[in-house]
Amino acid sequence: MSRERAAQLEYSEFQGAMLDEAKRRRKAAKILAVLAHYLGRDAAEPGQMLSGLTVADIGCSAGFIADELAGAGAGRTFGVDIDVPGLKKAAERFGERVEFVCANGEALPFPDGSIDVLVFNHIYEHVVDPDAVIKDMHRVLSDDGVLYLGLGNRLGVMEPHYKLPFLSYLPPAAADRYVRAFGRADHYYERFRTRGGLRRMLADFHVWDYTFPVLASPDRFAGGELFPGAVGRAAKGVLERAPRPALTALRPVVPTYLWIATKTPGRPLGAALPQPPEAVSAP
C-alpha cells in the first residue's frame, strides 16, 4: 500500500541546511544575479537590483533569502511558508523589512497579478501538489513579472538531501528501504521530476534556462557553490568553450536547473555571456 504524502510542517526543525545562514545567503546572491541579468539590471548597485518591485519568496523557511531580496531594494518583500518554527525565527530577525506569512503555496494570500518577482528555489519536490502551487504562482504573478526557479532533476545521480546515489531514480517503496538501510530517514518523502516533467509543470509559462550560463560564468552569477574549488574552475573552463550540441547532450542529467519563467513573451536583457540563456518552452 502506498503511503499518502502530507505537508512537510516544521521542515527547518529536521533539515538543518535551512538554518545554514552562510549557504542560504550564497544561494540568494546567485538568485539575485540571475534575476538582475534577465531584467537588464545586472549593472545596478547591489541595493538597487530589485528597486521598486514587489517580491515574494515562496518556501522561505528561516528567511535568509527573503532578507537578501529585501536588501536588493525591493519595494515590498514577502516570505511565505508553512514552516511555523522557521517563520518565527525569520520574523524575529527580519520582520522589520520582510512580511512573513504562514500560507500554503496552493492558495497564496495575494491578489491576481500583484507580485513582480517570485522565487521558488528547490521547493517543488517537497510540496504535496507542485502543479497546484505553480498554477497559483501563475495567478499572482504580474503580466511583466518573473519567476525564478531552482529545480532539482530526478536524473541527477547524487540525491541532494540524503547524499545517496540514484535515490531519486527509485520507486517510492524501494527509496524508503534505501534511506532506512543507510540510517538517513524513515521514509524518502521528496518527489523529483525529469526535465520533461518540469517543462510540463510549467507549460503555461515562457521559460529561459540559466543553468549553463551560471556554470560557465560562476563569478558573474555567484555560482561557485555549485562546483566549488578546482572542480568549479575546471568546469568553468570547459563550459565557457563547450559547443551547444555537447551541452544539449548533458542536459537530461544535470542535477539542478536554474530557470526564469514569465507569463508573457520576453527575453533576457542583460549583457552578453559566454554561454547565453536558452529558451526552454512557451505556451
- Is pLDDT of 2 > 50? no
pLDDT at 52: 94
Residue 22, pLDDT above cutoff 50: yes
Distance CA(21)–CA(5), nearest Å, equals: 29
Lowest mean pLDDT among 16-20, 106-110, 277-281: 16-20
- Beta-carbon contacts of 119 under 8 Å, excluding residues fewer than 6 positions away, are 31, 55, 56, 57, 58, 65, 69, 147, 148
**15: pLDDT strictly greater than 90:** no
Report the half-sphere exposure of 75 (CA within 13 A, side-chain side). Answer: 8
Per-residue confidence (pLDDT) for residue 218, from 0 to 100: 85
| Residue range 101-127, pLDDT digits in tens | 999 999 999 999 999 999 999 999 999
Given a cut of 80, whether residue 8 has pLDDT beyond it is no
Domains of the chain: 11-154+192-274 (3.40.50.150)
pLDDT of residue 10: 52
249-276 mean pLDDT: 93
pLDDT-derived band of residue 12, with 50, 70 and 90 as boundaries? Answer: low
Looking at residue 1, what is its pLDDT? Answer: 32
Per-residue model confidence (pLDDT) at position 60: 94
Cell 519563467 belongs to: 261
Q: Quick one: CA torsion of 259, 106, 152, 75, rounded to 10 degrees? A: 40
Residue 229 has pLDDT above 60, yes or no: no
Average pLDDT of 4-27? 67
Percent of the chain residues past pLDDT 90, beyond the cut: 71
User: Of 275 and 115, which is predicted with more confidence?
Assistant: 115
Decide if pLDDT at 56 tops 80.
Answer: yes
- pLDDT score for 76: 97
Q: What is the number of residues in the chain? A: 283
Q: How many CA atoms lie within 13 A of 142 on its CB side?
A: 11
Beta-bridge partner residues of 165: 158
pLDDT at 129: 95
Q: Using one digit for the tens of pLDDT, what is the confidence trace for 160-213?
A: 999 999 999 999 999 999 999 999 999 999 999 999 999 999 999 999 999 999
Average pLDDT estimate for 219-225: 76
In this prediction, what percent of the chain has a pLDDT beyond 70? 87
Mean pLDDT, the chain, integer:
89
Helices (H), the chain: 11-14, 21-39, 64-71, 84-94, 130-140, 172-181, 195-201, 211-216, 229-241, 244-250
pTM here is 0.91
